[in-house]
């Protein structure tokens, strides 16, 4: 029998010497299993208490998920969401299937997109005529929609 290290009381072949204060391997395993179980339950409780409340849907995108050969690809909608009480660094893309009860926020976003699309479709970028005495336009500073027509402030 070979004694390892400076402590002659610990012998690798024996489960635990009678005069040793070092716990046996089985006792250590039981203690670690207990600690692991306690930590795991505490983490599960903390995860259950952490709530992510959706504040606003900011953007959406559609993507195709490839399926098995011969099967048609499925289209999935992802939404870029702002979480309530969190900064913009925490904004994230969430699949529509993972959104839960957020029909109202999605409806608000769809309405906002419809209004934006109507506005863009209504814009008419015609040729703006300038008198010959003026220099050419450098850029637009501002614009307004008034009486069914667009007014531009240019420099």
Could you tell me the residue range of the domain that residue 1 belongs to?
1-50
Same domain assignment for residues 19 and 86: no
Cα 68 to Cα 73, 74, 78, 96: the distances in Å are 8, 11, 22, 22
- CATH number reported for the structural domain that contains residue 101 in this entry: 2.40.50.40
Q: Contact at 8 Å (CB) between 138 and 152?
A: no
Phi, psi of 65 (to 5 degrees): -110, 125
Count how many domains the chain has: 2
pLDDT for res 128: 59
Same domain assignment for residues 65 and 105: yes
Same domain assignment for residues 59 and 108: yes
pLDDT over 80 (residue 107): yes
Within 13 Å, how many C-alpha atoms sit on residue 55's CB side? 11
What mean pLDDT do residues 9-14 have? 55
Same domain assignment for residues 8 and 65: no
pLDDT over 70 (residue 55): yes
Q: Contact at 8 Å (CB) between 105 and 82?
A: no
Same domain assignment for residues 37 and 2: yes
Q: Mean of the per-residue pLDDT values for the chain?
A: 77
Same domain assignment for residues 81 and 45: no
Same domain assignment for residues 58 and 46: no
Q: Which residue has the higher pLDDT, 108 or 7?
A: 108
| Pairwise CA distance, residues 102 & 79, whole Å | 11
């Amino acid at each position: 029998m070979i004694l390892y290290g400076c402590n002659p009381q610990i012998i690798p072949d024996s489960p635990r010497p009678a005069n040793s204060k070092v716990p046996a391997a089985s006792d250590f395993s039981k203690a670690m299993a207990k600690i692991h179980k306690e930590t795991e339950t505490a983490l599960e409780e903390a995860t259950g208490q952490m709530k992510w409340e959706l504040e606003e849907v900011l953007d959406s995108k559609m993507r195709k998920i490839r399926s098995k050969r011969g099967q048609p690809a499925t289209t999935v909608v992802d939404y870029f969401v702002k979480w309530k009480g969190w900064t913009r660094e925490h904004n994230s893309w969430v699949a529509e299937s993972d959104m839960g009860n957020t029909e109202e926020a999605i409806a608000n976003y769809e309405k906002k997109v419809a209004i934006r699309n109507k506005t863009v479709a209504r814009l008419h970028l015609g040729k703006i005529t300038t008198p010959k005495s003026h220099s050419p336009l450098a850029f637009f500073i501002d614009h307004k929609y008034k009486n069914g027509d667009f007014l531009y402030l240019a420099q």
